[in-house]
Structure 1
Amino acid sequence: MPLVLVRTVTGLEGLAAEEVAAAGHRVVGVSKRQLVVDATAELIDTPPRLADDLFVVRAAVSDPGHLKSGLVSAGDALRRVLSVARQDSYAVTASFDGSRNFNRYDVEDLIGTVLGGPYHSRRDGSTPPADRSEWRVVLDGKTMWVAVRPYDVPLHRRAWRQRTVVGSLHPPVAAAMARLAGLAAGQRVLDPFCGAGTVLLEARAVQPGATYLGSDLSSAAIAAARANSAAVRWQVGDAARLTGSVDRILTNPPWGVRIGIDDLTPYQRQWRRVLQPDGLVVAILNHEQAAQLAADPGWRVRGVYDVAVAGRHPRIVVATRHPLSVGPGGRPRPGAG
Structure 2
Amino acid sequence: MSRRQLVVDATTELIAAPPRLADDLFVVRAAVGDPGHLKAGLASAGAALRRVLMVPRQGAYAVTASLDGSRNFNRYDVEDLIGTLLGGAYHSRRDGSTPPAERSEWRVVLDGKTMWVALRPYDVPLHRRAWRQRTVVGSLHPPVAAAMARLAGLAAGQLVLDPFCGAGTVLLEAHAVQPRAAYLGSDLSSAAITAAQVNSAGTADVRWRVGDAARLSGPVDRILTNPPWDVRIGIGDLTPYQRQWRRVLRPDGLLVAILNHAQAAQLATAPGWRVRGVYDVAVAGRHPRIVVAARRPAR
| TM superposition score normalised by structure 2 | 0.95
**Contact 2:231-2:237 at 8 Å conserved across structures:** no
* Deviation sequence 1:124-144 (CA, Å, 0-9, x none): 221111111100001122211
**Contact 1:167-1:259 at 8 Å conserved across structures:** no
Query: 1:123-272 residue pairs with structure 2 within 5 A?
Result: 123-229=94-200, 230-231=203-204, 232-256=206-230, 261-272=235-246
Separation in 1 of the partners of 2:157 and 2:58? 49
Separation in 1 of the partners of 2:36 and 2:295? 50
Separation in 2 of the partners of 1:297 and 1:32? 37
**Contact 2:29-2:53 at 8 Å conserved across structures:** yes
Equivalent of residue 256 in structure 2, options 275, 282, 301: 282
Separation in 1 of the partners of 2:57 and 2:214? 59
- Quote the sequence identity (%): 86
Higher mean alpha-carbon deviation, 32-41 vs 56-65, is at 32-41
**Contact 2:222-2:253 at 8 Å conserved across structures:** yes
Runs of 4+ off more than 4 Å: 257-260
C-alpha change, 1:156 and 1:260, in structure 2 (3 Å) is farther
**Contact 1:61-1:144 at 8 Å conserved across structures:** yes
Higher mean alpha-carbon deviation, 193-202 vs 294-303, is at 294-303
Which residue of structure 2 lines up, in the alignment, with residue 297 of structure 1? 271
Unaligned runs of 5+ in 2: none
Separation in 1 of the partners of 2:262 and 2:94? 39
Unaligned runs of 5+ in 1: 1-29, 326-337
**Contact 2:166-2:187 at 8 Å conserved across structures:** yes
Which residue of structure 2 lines up, in the alignment, with residue 73 of structure 1? 44
How many angstroms does 1:262 deviate by?
A: 4.7
* Deviation sequence 1:307-336 (CA, Å, 0-9, x none): 1111111111111111127xxxxxxxxxxx
How many angstroms does 1:80 deviate by?
A: 0.8
Count of aligned positions:
296
How many angstroms does 1:162 deviate by?
A: 1.0
Separation in 2 of the partners of 1:105 and 1:258? 40
Separation in 2 of the partners of 1:131 and 1:211? 38
1:316 aligned onto 2:290? yes
Letter in 1 for 2:10: A
How many angstroms does 1:257 deviate by?
A: 7.4
* Deviation sequence 1:41-100 (CA, Å, 0-9, x none): 111211001000011111111111222211110000011111324532111001122222
How many angstroms does 1:299 deviate by?
A: 1.1
Separation in 1 of the partners of 2:159 and 2:178? 11
